[in-house]
A and B are shown apart, each in its own frame.
Chain A
Amino acid sequence: MPVLNLFPALEPLLPKVSKPIQYVGGELNAQVTDWDSVAVHWALMYPDAYEVGLPNQGVQILYEVLNERDDTLAERTYAVWPDLEALLREHGISQFTVDAHRPVAAFDLLGVSFSTELGYTNLLTALDLAGIPLHAADRDESHPIVVAGGHAAFNPEPIADFVDAAVLGDGEQVVGTITDIVRDWKQEGRPGGRAELLVRLAATGGVYVPQCYDVSYLPDGRIESILPNRPGVPERVTKHTVLNLDEWPYPKAPLVPLAESVHERMSVEIFRGCTRGCRFCQAGMITRPVRERSIETVGEMVDRGLRATGFEEVGLLSLSSADHSEIGEMAKQLADRYEHDKISLSLPSTRVDAFNIDLANEFSRSGRRSGLTFAPEGGSERLRRVINKMVSKDDLIRTVSTAYAQGWRQVKLYFMCGLPTETDEDVLEIAEMAHDVIRAGREATGSKDIRCTVSIGGFVPKPHTPFQWASQCAPDVVDDRLRKLRAAINADRSLGRNVGMRYHDGEPSLIEGLLSRGDRRVGAVIEAVWRDGGRFDGWSEHFSFQRWVDCAASAGVDVGWYTTRERDADEVLPWDHLDSGLDKQWLWDDWQDAMAEFEQDDCRWTPCFDCGVCSNLGTDIQVGPTGRSLLPLVPRG
């Protein structure tokens, strides 16, 4: 059956919208496959604007993995801005893919990658524009299976009504399993209709199908139980873990957009997972165990990726890149390799120790030394013990002094506000730290021209972390603490004028908290907000706190109950049936340790502390050093 190309209808609308280039596709390394030559069709969506969604590694990896299969094609779709949304509605044009401009409803599957819960309303826009019923229960065989993935999928309950399935963890292998099941079901003549397909997916134990589970509630509103409602469906759904990253060197040929995007670089993930154990960090908890990519594979991916893209910057990504067992050699050898090619290297720098400065110097060998970023996260030593971020102020000041002495001009410090047990005093210590940084910089350089930027985010308790039971701090408390902090920074004018402070209001964090730890009853709020015009909630110019509060009230949902209420040990949490590998008892013990200001080591360097992941999932940490080196160089040019 020929599938419509929507581009001729779309084209006359494009001169009327902002940045039309984001809707035309045709990126370097984009792929278009003949529709009728394959059995299974995937539309992959990143539910935010193209400029944010295009660089997303998850989507790019799955796009390549799926398109490499002979029986499958994958195309991409992104959230359209309200200007185009209005025109699409006016002209009756559906949500489209940017690759071949096919209508999203024509695909067998719509995979949506949620890095953040604030993309939920954008999913509804896309479904509605595509002509797919918003509620999974209203869909039939003609509609795509809507699958959620990404970190937010570790608690998909708030969007349980809107998605057919959710997948936890690494997507590389499970997309293959899903594709096989859909292909076989189609080839068999779609036996049992959509319901049977969903049960076949659920029966794998690795695909969560919300419709196959019933939630019951206690009189006080807490969850009583979440149980399978039909035979053949497992009680718990397990996350996926790719065990040898060297066997999955994706993306091989990253997409290069014509439009400007948020990350204009060639990114290589040097390891997955993190066992630093920061208690606020959902990513660190749900991506365990640590699995390193070898220095050889990294060297190969960088070389191949640069040739395929022409990017001038390489980013070595992971949750804490300086922790790779061979990061020093990797940085030195890459810097040697690309010294004469005007290619710069970057890595998210999070640890505060001397090694980091050596590394940063390697990365900026012949380039600018503009800014270094550190993330102490908590303002006081006490609070850093609570969150298990083991950084002392002395270490930080020592590191910063070295950095300034070696030519770095600016230091950025990341913190969170609203952490469990936090008081005004903890936050005010940030001002002291910033002042000390300026003093140390002036002393090291003999110059007054020293900058320090303090960047502060609101803390949101996340599922599958030791803080999943915590009370979220109310927005007015956060806002008040940040006001006091600003005053404290500026109390010493000579130091304060060299300190910049960046923060956001506390209100969006509260809504993020509602969506993070919400259950199925929160879905009604998302739908009401969307019907009232809610779009692009991750963008401050589009986000409306009042709209969320009003819609929650009219849906009978108490925002405070979901956010600022502390949970007990015995409460059934909405995600208890979704297995991240972490033992609930271990998480609880770690939560108690946090209250006792007791730190937990990293299992890469100290014995296993039984978080449960490796024993529950049959995995193990994979770290070097391998003692090998980057592949020998083929000279460029």
Chain B
Amino acid sequence: MARRTPDGPPPPPVVQRLRVRFAKRGRLRFTSHRDFARAFERALRRAEVPMAYSAGFSPHPKISYVGAAPTGVASEAEYLEIGLARECDPEAVGAALDAALPDGLDIVEVLPAGPGSLAERMQASHWRIELPGVSVGEAGDALRALHAEESVPVERLTKDGRRIIDVRPAILAVALKPGERAIMDLVVRQVTPAVRPDDILAALRIVAGLAPAAPPVVVRLAQGPIDENGAVSDPLAPDRATARTSP
């Protein structure tokens, strides 16, 4: 018996790549990456974006995701790239997608992809972590204890079993925001395996016994290249520059 192949010509090629920055806000921060991917594919269909598809019997739209924030963590800076079969106005695609997604999954910006890989620009992440029920003094002490260590191994459950990760070398900057509530500003270098906000909280528990009464509220504020001052800069800046100079 010959294996069936799909009738007709192969799917049209990618003629335009768009880079999308989106946010995961409020109660929809509990959306997992898989949940988001399904919702996004449906939004593409509702918005009638002319996607390019892979070949074969179960064609998939061309979407690549970059470093998704963990489930339960809000984010202002999530990124993905889509391949289109027909050239479109990026702003119009952004508006149509935003309208097609539920409130709380919001499109921030859409740009034509410039040269270079987006994933490679993601050198670090900037997180805001609020510690409910922890005083500013306690939080400050904990951060000083963390700074004093050169190495803080934490244990994490991964799909391959238990793993020990040293979080300390990945921390580029961590400080308390000025104010009466304990809110940390944290910049973590993109390493493999990724060091996530949960791992930093585990480290604070190890070095200072810090244990917030309620789950910490975490937001990713930015991810991208590390600039000369050690801050996280906009990963879409090169694409924006290319878009401005091209006709």
Contacts and interface: CB of A to CB of B under 8 A. Distances in A.
A249 interface: no
A407 B57 CA distance: 13
A25 B104 CA distance: 11
A26 B28 contact: yes
Given A15-B72, A26-B104, A367-B57, A312 B45 contact: yes
Interface in B175-204: none
Interface stretch (A113-121, A303-311, A320-328): A303-311
Contacts, number: 84
B6 interface: yes
Interface in A216-272: 256, 258-260, 264
Interface string A433-459: 000000000000111000000000000
Given A15-B72, A23-B30, A264-B38, 8 more contacts: A7-B27, A20-B30, A21-B30, A21-B35, A25-B27, A342-B59, A368-B57, A369-B4
A309 B1 contact: no
Given A21-B31, A445-B1, A258 B39 contact: yes
Interface in A24-55: 24-28
A310 B44 contact: yes
Contacts of B48: 636-637
Interface string B1-35: 10010111000000000000000000110111011
A309 B45 CA distance: 9
A571 interface: no
B31 A12 contact: no
Contact of A446 (B1, B102, B104, B214): B1
Nearest to A24: B27
Contacts of A310: 41-46, 100
Nearest to B36: A258
B102 A637 contact: no
Contacts of A25: 27
B189 to A, nearest CB: 25
A14 to B, nearest CB: 6
A613 B1 CA distance: 50
A26 B27 contact: yes
B72 A27 contact: no
Interface of B is mostly: loop
Interface in A1-26: 7, 11-12, 14-16, 19-21, 23-26
A615 interface: no
Taking each of B43, B50, B102, which has the highest tally of chain A beta carbons within 10 Å of its own beta carbon?
B102
B132 interface: yes
A258 B28 contact: yes
A42 B214 CA distance: 33
B148 to A, nearest CB: 29
A16 B72 CA distance: 10
A309 B42 CA distance: 7
B28 A256 contact: no
Contacts of B59: 342
Contacts of A636: 48
Given A20-B72, A24-B27, A407-B1, A307 B46 contact: yes
Nearest to A365: B7
A366 interface: yes
Nearest to A311: B42
A506 B157 CA distance: 38
B158 interface: no
B215 A12 contact: yes
B50 A637 contact: yes
A572 B50 CA distance: 64
A366 B6 contact: yes
Contacts of B41: 310, 312
Nearest to B2: A407
A253 to B, nearest CB: 11
Interface in A334-370: 341-342, 365-369
Contacts of B7: 365-366
A26 B7 CA distance: 40
A264 B39 CA distance: 11
Contacts of B79: none
